[in-house]
């Protein structure tokens, strides 16, 4: 028995068993419960625990579902593009233009300061800034750039995406910065000695070596945006919707089976997106 327990294969399973148990209890089991409930039906006063495809038939047969999913993808793609641009630029500056490790640490911590407050507080703080009589409109009118307040600054897709970018840019900065700090500086010197311009070094050396960090940041941002609902609700003034809001509305109406079905469809969609992304880049190099 002692010889069996000392086997490397058995030792590995024993070491992994606590983590596996936690994942099974707090991740797999809840997901299985949501899956089971998604096949139940609900009436106005009760939930019927009987197998039925009614929720999925209604969900997949409604054109509203496809419009909401398309809107969700729109938010995810635009937010991803903006956060990638900002995140890569910030990470590049910190990694290659700030020489002192002390200043790198200080500037990086400055980027994390907004995370010391609640996401909701940071999101709501945009409302008085973007409002009809807010700071932005007042400043633009005082400068003579506009004659009337801009209505699209608040309670619009612009406001939703702005809030998403504010909330989730750091999730793009951190993995990209971490990957850039691992790049061997001798590779950059070799590219410079070979006569490569700064742009050529960026395109042919830095970006390829930063792909794992970009992919990790992409997964973070896309999954967070697709699952968010409170930002869309407040920043759009309830004039727009995403899948998260569908789930939230069903829960508020006590339609738990319908909410569970929508959640499972969203989960499958996100897993398909992540699987497609992981086929492009092997992020195990980063982990």
Q: How far apart are CA 114 and CA 178, in angstroms?
A: 20
- Per-residue pLDDT for 3 more than 80? no
Q: Label residues 185-217 b or e (16+ Cβ within 10 Å = b).
A: eeebeebeeeebeeeebbeebbeebbbbbbbbb
- Quick one: tokens of 201? 């070094």
- Per-residue pLDDT for 286 more than 60? no
61-285: CATH class: mainly alpha
The residues near 80 (Cβ < 8 Å, ≥ 6 apart) are: 218, 221, 222, 225
What is the percentage of the chain residues whose pLDDT exceeds 70? Answer: 94
Q: How far apart are CA 163 and CA 122, in angstroms?
A: 8
pLDDT mean over 266-283: 86
Give the pLDDT confidence of 59-77 residue by residue, as tens digits.
988 899 999 999 999 999 9
Q: What is the pLDDT of residue 14?
A: 73
pLDDT mean over 9-35: 83
Q: How many residues does the chain have?
A: 287
Q: How far apart are CA 281 and CA 278, in angstroms?
A: 5
Strands 41-42 and 47-48: antiparallel
Give the pLDDT confidence of 206-239 residue by residue, as tens digits.
998 899 899 999 999 999 999 888 889 888 887 8
- Within 13 Å of residue 154, how many CA atoms lie on the same side as its CB? 18
Q: How far apart are CA 119 and CA 202, in angstroms?
A: 34
Q: What is the pLDDT of residue 158?
A: 92
* Band of pLDDT at residue 140, cut at 50, 70 and 90: confident
Q: How far apart are CA 215 and CA 72, in angstroms?
A: 20
* Band of pLDDT at residue 8, cut at 50, 70 and 90: low
- Per-residue pLDDT for 170 more than 80? yes
- Per-residue pLDDT for 199 more than 80? yes
- Per-residue pLDDT for 283 more than 90? no
Q: What is the pLDDT of residue 9?
A: 64
- Quick one: tokens of 205? 């050396």
Extents of the domains making up the chain: 61-285
- Per-residue pLDDT for 79 more than 90? yes
- Quick one: tokens of 243? 């899948």
- Per-residue pLDDT for 27 more than 90? no
Q: What is the pLDDT of residue 7?
A: 61
Q: What is the pLDDT of residue 287?
A: 55
What is the percentage of the chain residues whose pLDDT exceeds 90? Answer: 32
Please give the DSSP secondary-structure letter assigned to residue 27: I
CA nearest neighbour of 232 among 63, 58, 64, 68: 68
Q: What is the pLDDT of residue 216?
A: 92
Whether the CB-CB separation of 158 and 230 falls below 8 Å is answered with: no
């Amino acid at each position: 028995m002692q010889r069996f327990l000392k086997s490397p294969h058995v030792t590995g399973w024993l070491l992994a068993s606590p983590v596996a148990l936690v994942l099974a209890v707090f991740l797999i089991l809840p997901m299985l419960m949501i899956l089971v409930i998604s096949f139940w039906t609900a009436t106005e006063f009760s939930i019927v625990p009987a197998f039925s495809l009614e929720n999925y038939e209604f969900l997949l047969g409604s054109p509203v579902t496809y419009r909401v999913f398309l809107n969700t993808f729109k938010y995810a793609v635009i937010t991803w593009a903006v956060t990638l641009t900002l995140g890569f630029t910030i990470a590049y500056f910190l990694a290659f233009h700030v020489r002192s490790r002390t200043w790198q640490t200080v500037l990086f911590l400055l980027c994390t300061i907004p995370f010391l407050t609640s996401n909701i507080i940071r999101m709501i703080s945009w409302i008085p800034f973007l409002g009809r009589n807010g700071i932005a409109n007042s400043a633009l009118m005082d400068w003579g750039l506009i004659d009337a307040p801009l209505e699209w600054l608040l309670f619009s897709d612009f406001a939703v995406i702005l809030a998403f970018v504010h909330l989730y840019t750091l999730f793009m900065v951190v993995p990209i910065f971490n990957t850039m700090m691992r790049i061997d500086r001798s590779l950059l010197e070799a590219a410079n000695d070979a006569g490569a311009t700064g742009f050529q070094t960026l395109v042919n050396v830095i970006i390829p070596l930063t792909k794992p960090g970009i992919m990790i940041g992409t997964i973070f941002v896309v999954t967070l945006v697709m699952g968010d609902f409170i930002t869309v609700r407040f920043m759009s003034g309830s004039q727009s919707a995403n899948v998260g809001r569908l789930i939230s509305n069903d829960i508020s109406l006590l339609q738990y089976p319908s909410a569970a079905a929508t959640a499972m469809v969203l989960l499958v969609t996100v897993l398909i997106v992540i699987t497609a992304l992981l086929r492009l880049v092997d992020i195990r190099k980063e982990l």
